[in-house]
């Protein structure tokens, strides 16, 4: 049994771990959204003109040749005062975003933690939470505050702390210009639709969501495939406590695990569907390749791997690509450029997926203008005989 992508609402469901906002909190968050909108559309669209009129001539005068490489373009853009102004404002707005999201969460922290604890310990809970006190989160994710989230994904300041999840969920809603908060989890919805179209009749009985954060997609899969057993993992105890309580509050069963996506503690051939959402762009080449090998190992023959991520891999315009470098230098997105340049088909081939099974897609979000990159592959039914 599956639930259609039109009749469910997961991400917009109010639950008790959302901070209670004062009117000023809402104003501040709306102001941040507005500033982000202006900076990322109206101001950013001037970059080509700034490069042509000022950046490139300055570079030419300094080096005796026009800017060619991505590093040249970056240097040229930073020669333009208006670009430096945009850069500083963009960084400042990202910091303001976290202040506008963090203040109500920290103010309401005791109530949020108590609500999460009650949900996680409820006698009628449906899913489970498996924290590993011996797990030391990989420094490649834990030592950087990716997109400046305070404390990063691994933040866990006490045995009941859920702040990382609270920040991630509300930050995501504000970051996505407030559209995400009033909507179904659009990533899981888009992937369920892709499965219906590309793999008709495929109904997974065991699903694994790698790098689940606050569990929005994990909960959505549990809703969409009510007969499936859904497992999800991430690196931080604070994130996972929140994700588990959130899923319980939505009435869906998800089993959350503190585990590295590149070292899975699950049995061989134990999942029908392995998914990841927006995780590829946050890991090194080595971690990604290990995650692919582990996904292959835990998939049953005929099982399906689907990784979805941001749609920056098709960008060839060097001025737009300079934005990716900016993310790396100023927004804690240290692997954004590596992801945009990676040969993911070659990685899946090296991980044992046959080339005829590997498909790349660019798919629209279920609502809004966003488009996603997706790479999918089916594990052969038998070794040497593709499904
Ligand atoms: C951008 S978030 C995406 C979260 C969620 N899938 C979504 O789409 O809302 C990336 C998540 O991947 C997790 N992650 C990154 N590297 C990981 C690894 N090696 N093992 C497990 N999780 C990882 C991070 O901790 C973070 O929570």
Q: What is the C-alpha separation between 52 and 46, in angstroms, rounded? A: 10
Identify the pLDDT of residue 316: 87
Identify the pLDDT of residue 297: 98
Q: Tell me the two tokens of residue 256.
A: 């959350």
Q: Of the candidates 307, 284, 289, which has an alpha carbon nearest to the alpha carbon of residue 208?
A: 307
Quick one: which atom of ligand 1 is closest to the CA of 140?
16
Q: What is the C-alpha separation between 36 and 101, in angstroms, rounded? A: 14
Residue 254 lies in a domain: yes
Q: From 146, 211, 242, give the residue whose CB has the most ligand 1 atoms within 8 Å, as the site to mutate.
A: 211
Q: Report DSSP letters for 190-224, one per residue.
A: HHHHHHHHHSTT---SEEEEES-TT-HHHHHHHHH
Q: Euclidean distance between the first and final Cα of the chain, in Å?
A: 23
> For residues 335 and 284, is the Cβ–Cβ distance under 8 A?
yes
Residue 9 lies in a domain: no
Residue 34 lies in a domain: no
Residue 189 lies in a domain: yes
Q: What is the C-alpha separation between 377 and 295, in angstroms, rounded? A: 11
Identify the pLDDT of residue 12: 58
Quick one: which atom of ligand 1 is closest to the CA of 213?
27
> For residues 55 and 82, is the Cβ–Cβ distance under 8 A?
no
Identify the pLDDT of residue 4: 46
Q: Tell me the two tokens of residue 17.
A: 């771990």
Quick one: which atom of ligand 1 is closest to the CA of 261?
20
Residues with CB under 6 A from ligand 1: 138, 141, 153, 187, 211-213, 216-217, 233-235, 239, 260-262, 277-279, 282-283, 287
What sign does the CA torsion over 167, 168, 170, 173 have? positive
Q: From 183, 234, 261, give the residue whose CB has the most ligand 1 atoms within 8 Å, as the site to mutate.
A: 234
In the sheet that 254-258 helps form, which strands lie side by side, from edge to edge?
128-130, 254-258, 229-234, 206-210, 271-277, 299-310, 371-378, 359-364
The H or E element spanning position 245 is helix 237-249
Q: Which residue, by CA, sits nearest to atom 8 of ligand 1?
A: 277
Residue 72 lies in a domain: no
Q: Of the candidates 170, 209, 172, which has an alpha carbon nearest to the alpha carbon of residue 192?
A: 209
Identify the pLDDT of residue 25: 92
Q: How far is the CA of 86 from the centre of ligand 1 (A)?
A: 29
What are the residues whose beta carbons fall under 8 Å from the beta carbon of 381, sequence distance 6 or more?
301, 302, 387
Three-state secondary structure call for residue 9? coil
Three-state secondary structure call for residue 136? coil
Residue 320, φ and ψ in degrees, nearest 5: -70, -35
> For residues 210 and 127, is the Cβ–Cβ distance under 8 A?
no
pLDDT along the chain (387 residues), means of 10: 47 80 91 89 86 96 96 95 94 95 96 97 96 91 90 93 95 69 70 96 97 95 95 97 96 97 98 97 96 98 97 89 91 92 97 97 81 96 58
Residue 178 lies in a domain: yes
Q: From 141, 169, 218, 339, give the residue whose CB has the most ligand 1 atoms within 8 Å, as the site to mutate.
A: 141
Q: Which residues is 311 bridged to in the sheet?
A: none
Residue 52 lies in a domain: no
Q: Where are the beta strands (DSSP E) in the chain?
A: 128-130, 206-210, 229-234, 254-258, 271-277, 299-310, 359-364, 371-378
In this structure, what CATH number is given to the domain that contains residue 300?
Answer: 3.40.50.150
Name the residue range of residue 266's domain: 163-378
* Side-chain-facing half-sphere of 222: CA atoms under 13 Å: 28
Domain count, the chain: 1
Residue 386 lies in a domain: no
Q: How far is the CA of 280 from the centre of ligand 1 (A)?
A: 8
Q: Tell me the two tokens of residue 368.
A: 């809004």
CA 226 to chain centre: 23
Q: Tell me the two tokens of residue 148.
A: 């400046």
CA dihedral in degrees (23, 27, 30, 36; nearest 10)? -140
Residue 304, φ and ψ in degrees, nearest 5: -120, 130
- Exposure string (b/e) for 332-346, b if CB count within 10 Å is 16 or more? bbbbbbbbbebebee
Three-state secondary structure call for residue 385? strand
Q: Tell me the two tokens of residue 359.
A: 């498909």
Burial of 286 (0-12, 13-18, 19+ CB in 10 A): exposed
> For residues 126 and 73, is the Cβ–Cβ distance under 8 A?
no
């Amino acid at each position: 049994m599956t639930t259609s992508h039109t009749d469910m609402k997961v991400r917009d469901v109010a639950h008790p771990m959302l901070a209670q906002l004062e009117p000023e909190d809402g104003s501040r968050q709306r102001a941040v959204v507005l500033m982000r909108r202006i900076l990322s559309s109206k101001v950013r669209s001037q970059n080509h003109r700034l490069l042509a009129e000022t950046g490139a001539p300055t570079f030419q005068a300094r080096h005796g040749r026009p800017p060619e490489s991505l590093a040249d373009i970056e240097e040229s853009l930073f020669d333009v005062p208006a670009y430096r102004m945009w850069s500083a404002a963009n960084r400042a707005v990202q910091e303001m975003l976290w202040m506008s999201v963090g203040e109500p969460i920290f103010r309401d922290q005791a109530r949020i933690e108590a609500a999460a604890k009650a949900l996680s310990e409820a006698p009628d809970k449906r899913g489970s939470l498996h924290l590993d006190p011996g797990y030391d989160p990989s420094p490649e994710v834990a030592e950087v505050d990716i997109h400046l989230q305070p404390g990063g994904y691994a933040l866990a300041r006490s045995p009941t702390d859920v702040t990382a999840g609270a920040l991630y969920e509300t930050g995501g809603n504000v970051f996505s210009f407030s559209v995400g908060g009033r909507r179904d989890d659009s990533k899981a919805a888009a992937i369920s639709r892709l499965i219906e179209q590309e793999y008709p009749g495929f109904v997974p009985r065991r699903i694994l969501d790698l790098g689940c954060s606050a569990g929005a997609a994990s909960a959505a899969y549990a809703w969409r495939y009510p007969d499936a057993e859904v497992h999800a993992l991430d690196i931080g105890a604070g994130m996972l406590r929140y994700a588990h309580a959130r899923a319980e509050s939505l009435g869906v069963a998800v089993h959350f695990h503190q585990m590295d996506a590149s070292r899975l503690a699950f049995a061989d051939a134990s999942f029908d569907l392995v998914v990841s959402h927006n995780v590829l762009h946050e890991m090194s080449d080595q971690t990604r390749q290990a995650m692919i090998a582990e996904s292959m190992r835990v998939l049953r023959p005929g099982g399906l791997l689907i990784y979805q991520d941001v749609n920056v891999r098709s960008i060839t315009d060097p001025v737009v690509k300079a934005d990716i470098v900016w993310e790396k230098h100023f927004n804690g997105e240290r692997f954004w450029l590596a992801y945009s340049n990676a040969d993911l088909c070659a990685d899946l081939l090296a991980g044992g997926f046959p080339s005829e099974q590997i498909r790349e897609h660019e798919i629209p979000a279920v609502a809004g203008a966003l488009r996603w990159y997706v790479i999918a592959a089916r594990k052969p039914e038998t070794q040497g005989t593709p499904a």
